Structure 1
Amino acid sequence: MKRRFIMLLISVFGFTSALGAEEKGLNQKQQEIVRISAFTASGDLEDLKISLNDGLDAGLTVNEIKEILVHTYAYCGFPRSLNGMGVFMNVLSEREAKGIKDEIGRDITPIPSNRNSVEYGTEVQTKLVGAPVQGGIYNFAPAVDEFLKGHLFGDLFGRDILDFQTREIVTIAALGNMSSVNPQLAAHFNLGMNAGLTKEQINGIIDVFDKKIGKKQGKNAREIFDKIIKK
């Protein structure tokens, strides 16, 4: 009887610890978001197909995945975003043919007609960065500043299917699987934490890279993030 009670305590403690670890790190849906975004950014369509199926099986809705693929175009360009969307359409057709009914999910809340994208985007950007963004390249090329504020942070971040934390997971995952974008990856590690991502969650993103995407990408991301948290 005593032995059975001890085993029960060990079982409960282990289950509780596992739940705590998931709460601190990434849940299964978020892990699949990392893979979907990373493989879209790199143009790895075979692995993307697998991750899209896994994402749907994990409970991501069709509209959430559409939005992930829409968001990636701001970082990896329309060609790879559109290729990813094409793969997703095929995945949905194949699943439907097998009798799998995936949840469509809700659409975006209509954006107020009187919302100024640049003004709204400036507020969002300032909140995520932690200070107004100005100077340097933005003075050299004002159009870049306007497009970043108005379109990226105003129009895209203003679509509420994905919250700011999720959009930063998508962004970090995309940048982490691209070459020669370490300054932007470092910046979005900071933006992600300002959006509310914990250090454990960001380490969770890097863990997905190590285990599911590529050791080289995981090593690079971890080195950058370690420098940030040591400052």
Structure 2
Amino acid sequence: MKHIIFLTILFIVTKGYGQIEKQTTMDTIKTERFKKGWDKLKEIDGEAGEKVIESLKDISPELGTFIIEYAFGDIYIREGLDLKSKEIAVVSALTAMGNAQPQLKVHINGALNTGSTINELKEVILQMSVYSGFPSCINAMNSLKEVLNEREMQGIKDTIGDFSNTLIADRLKTGELELSKLDSTQVEKLKLAYNEFSPELVQFVLEYGYADIFSRDNLDNKYRQIATISALTALGTAESQLKFHINAGFNIGLTETEIKEIMLLMTIYSGFPSAINGMNVLKEVINNRNSDK
């Protein structure tokens, strides 16, 4: 009888130890992943990001953990797209979505911390007027102003950056030229599609979208396409336009890897469905380009 009791106790203790050992291993893995994410969060967003995580502790510490582990431990540590480009993509997406001002402020901080100048961020926000309208841009510009005031009060001196020196003599011709830089056939396609039904739309797309905005010379064309691709992916309502700008991105030098990273990044900010749709559009564009060769 004593032997039976001893063996039973030994079995329970051994089983319990195995569970503890397994749990300890899981906690170690979690801790390593958490640490990587936390280090990346501090590198990008500094104090602003830490405040967000701290604010979740009393309501949902799990959410804070998932943000650190997935967003920063899984996605941001990937090397296919540099940090400056990632933060430009996020600022443009959050501006376009227009419903996450506190998070936008965190990533404006992050963009400034990872190499964007003040004027580059102004350009990204101005460009979103083409894709998500003026109200979203007004809100984002106010968020930028608030962040800059807060950083100035902390003694942070951000780089102003270049101002646009573009002089436009003929807005329509300038718009046609800028659009043709992205795709030599697109002006004619635009006119063919809408000249009879709404010539005003063609005019305003070319004059405002491409002459007034895209011709401004103080934001690199690479960043302009990253901003547009991420915003259109996040919005999830403009597949044909997303297809065009992915093509345009390839035409001005973006790589397949860089665009894939934009889609993965959007899983954090607009969710997996929009990222899946964006990845499918990217796949279609690549297949079409390969078949045309």
Task: Provide the TM-score with structure 2 as the length reference.
Answer: 0.67
1:154 paired with 2:208, answer no
Task: Give, as a single letter, the amino acid of the residue that structure 1 aligns with 2:172.
Answer: V
Question: Which position in structure 1 is the counterpart of 2:122?
Answer: 66
Question: Which position in structure 2 is the counterpart of 1:98?
Answer: 154
Question: Which position in structure 1 is the counterpart of 2:164?
Answer: 108
The partner residue of 1:189 within 246, 255, 272 is 246
Deviations 1:110-161 (A, max 9, x none): x235x21211211221231231422122331101111111221112111111
Task: Give, as a single letter, the amino acid of the residue that structure 2 aligns with 1:177.
Answer: A
1:166 paired with 2:223, answer yes
Distance 2:179 2:124 in 1: 19
The partner residue of 1:122 within 147, 161, 176 is 176
The partner residue of 2:284 within 192, 212, 227 is 227
Report 1:13-32 matches (<5 A).
22=79, 25-32=80-87
- Please report how far the alpha carbon of residue 164 of structure 1 lies from its aligned counterpart in structure 2 after TM superposition: 2.0
Deviations 1:179-227 (A, max 9, x none): 3211211121112212221212111211211345422221111111112
- Please report how far the alpha carbon of residue 76 of structure 1 lies from its aligned counterpart in structure 2 after TM superposition: 0.2
- Please report how far the alpha carbon of residue 45 of structure 1 lies from its aligned counterpart in structure 2 after TM superposition: 0.9
Decide whether the 8 Å contact of 2:229 with 2:245 is kept in 1: yes
Decide whether the 8 Å contact of 1:165 with 1:192 is kept in 2: yes
Question: Which position in structure 1 is the counterpart of 2:40?
Answer: none
Query: Per the alignment, in what secondary structure is the counterpart of residue 59 of structure 1?
Result: coil
Runs of 4+ in 1 over 4 A off after TM superposition: none
Distance 1:120 1:139 in 2: 22
Greater Rg by CA:
2
> Using a 3 Å threshold, how does the CA distance of structure 1 residues 194 and 116 change in structure 2: closer, same or farther?
same
RMSD: 1.6
Distance 1:90 1:204 in 2: 29
- Please report how far the alpha carbon of residue 162 of structure 1 lies from its aligned counterpart in structure 2 after TM superposition: 0.9
Distance 2:195 2:285 in 1: 24
Count of residues in Structure 1 that have an aligned counterpart in Structure 2: 207
Query: Per the alignment, in what secondary structure is the counterpart of residue 240 of structure 2?
Result: helix
Decide whether the 8 Å contact of 2:234 with 2:269 is kept in 1: no
- Can you give the 5+ residue segments of structure 1 that lack an aligned partner in the other structure? 1-20
Kindly indicate whether structure 1 or structure 2 has the higher relative contact order, using CA contacts under 8 Å at least 6 residues apart.
Answer: 1
Question: Which position in structure 1 is the counterpart of 2:5?
Answer: none
Percent same amino acid at aligned positions? 34
1:33 paired with 2:91, answer no
The partner residue of 1:78 within 134, 143, 152 is 134
Query: Per the alignment, in what secondary structure is the counterpart of residue 160 of structure 1?
Result: coil
Task: Give, as a single letter, the amino acid of the residue that structure 1 aligns with 2:174.
Answer: Y
Distance 1:81 1:146 in 2: 22
Task: Provide the TM-score with structure 1 as the length reference.
Answer: 0.84
Question: Which position in structure 2 is the counterpart of 1:18?
Answer: none
